[in-house]
Structure 1
Amino acid sequence: MSERQNIAGTSPYEPIIGFSRAVRVGGHIMVSGTGPVGADDLDAAGQTEQVLTLIAAVLKQAGASFEHVVRTRMYLTHAEDWEAIGRVHGKFFGIVRPASSMVVVAALLNPKWRIEIEADALLPE
């Protein structure tokens, strides 16, 4: 098995829950569910921009970028936000077009969050 690299973020929940912002094993990078930290009071589109900015930063730390993302999972707290969130996702991934899911959930860890996104990336061998 390839060497595992845990990549920490800035979430105060990481040590409490016991997770890393991302984990890289070989050319596989799995990004944990990422909420719009610092953008709690923005609308769904603004929160999605913040989430994807945070994901871009951790991908860079892992040696990857959005072009390497093969899957995203979006968790929405309001079904009516799907189009606004989808448009922002499309702005970042319109060319890459990863496999993707959009799931409506009852709530996220922070009640102000309208979106949380996970991402998986695969670096070329």
Structure 2
Amino acid sequence: MERRRVSTGTDWESTVGYPRAIRAGDTVRVAGTIATDDEGAVVAPGDPYEQTRHALDIVANALDEVGTSVDDVVRTRMYVTDIEEMDAVGRAHGEVFADVRPAATMVEVSELAAEDAVVEVEVEAVVG
């Protein structure tokens, strides 16, 4: 099976050994994504809404690079450091996926890989 990989060039991807997204056949999986800029700094420290929007922008770009879009997303997972922020995270998710309505999970975790990150998002898509 052919695999197409997308990298955003972050240190994490090369150090840990994974791509931002991988397409295998008609299935696309986007790795857990936090809101970082091109230098790897966390965007909007402590702001769950802005971090979710930014992370989903990164996800959308990765999907585009493997020939799909958010319209093909069937599953999302959101990891948050404070479940009390679920409304802000959910609002950002809903703005991107309102018409798509993928199966979604949100869970609280004790911390994420970057100190100021409060949200991490991963998605799965099926093309065609």
Q: TM-score, normalised by structure 2?
A: 0.92
Residue number in structure 1 paired with 2:21: 22
- Paired AA for residue 6 in structure 2: I
2:72 touches 2:127 (CA, 8 Å); kept in 1? yes
The code of the aligned residue for 1:6 comes to R
Change in CA separation of 1:121 and 1:86 when aligned onto 2, cut-off 3 Å? same
Question: For the residues of structure 2 that align with 1:116 and 1:105, how far apart are their CA atoms?
Answer: 10
* CA deviation after TM superposition for structure 1 residue 40, in Å: 4.2
Q: Specify the alignment match of 2:12 in structure 1.
A: 13
Say if 2:76 and 2:123, in contact at 8 Å, map to a contact too: yes
RMSD: 1.0
- TM-score w.r.t. length of structure 1: 0.95
Q: Which residue is equivalent to 2:40? A: none
Unmatched 5+ residue regions in structure 2? 38-42
In the TM superposition, residue 21 of structure 1 has moved relative to its aligned partner by 0.3
Gapped runs of 5+ residues in structure 1? none
Note the 1:73-92 alignment, pairs <5 A. 73-92=77-96
Q: State the Cα distance separating 1:42 from its structure 2 match.
A: 5.5
Q: Percent identity?
A: 37
Q: What is the aligned length?
A: 123
